[in-house]
Amino acid sequence: SQQGEEDPQALSIQEGENATMNCSYKTSINNLQWYRQNSGRGLVHLILIRSNEREKHSGRLRVTLDTSKKSSSLLITASRAADTASYFCATLGGTSGSRLTFGEGTQLTVNP
């Protein structure tokens, strides 16, 4: 079963705008990872945030983690058309051990 649930399922914005995607999960975790998948291509790792961290930055990406609410958010600032992709959160640890448990993803479309 999928532990992570992304919200929204689909998001369409204009180039230059910010995009925020949320992820909720059910059980305790060791870390939470965000991945991007372009149409028909592989999964690319974006960022990992550990359970004892609250916020992390990487370039135009900002990830937050609230373990009390079992939720995370991914913010992409100043979006580009090339950011168009599906974004997945995946949790690792807790009862799921070493497996990554993925959500169903958010489809982001950035219009030029």
Q: Which is nearer to other proteins, 17 or 104 (CB)?
A: 104
Q: Which of 48, 60, 67, 73 binds other proteins (CB under 8 A)?
A: 48
Tokens of 112: 């030029």
Q: Which is nearer to other proteins, 2 or 73 (CB)?
A: 2
97 binds other proteins (CB under 8 A): yes
Identify whether the C-beta of residue 19 lies closer than 8 Å to the C-beta of residue 82: no
Q: Which of 71, 91, 93, 110 binds other proteins (CB under 8 A)?
A: 93
Encode burial over 39-67: b for 16+ CB neighbours within 10 A, e otherwise.
eeeeeeebbebeeeeeebeeeebbbbbee
Q: Which is nearer to other proteins, 8 or 16 (CB)?
A: 8
Q: Across-strand partners of 32?
A: 49, 91
User: Applying CB under 8 A, which residues contact other proteins?
Assistant: 2, 4, 30-31, 33, 35, 41-45, 48, 88, 90, 92-93, 96-105
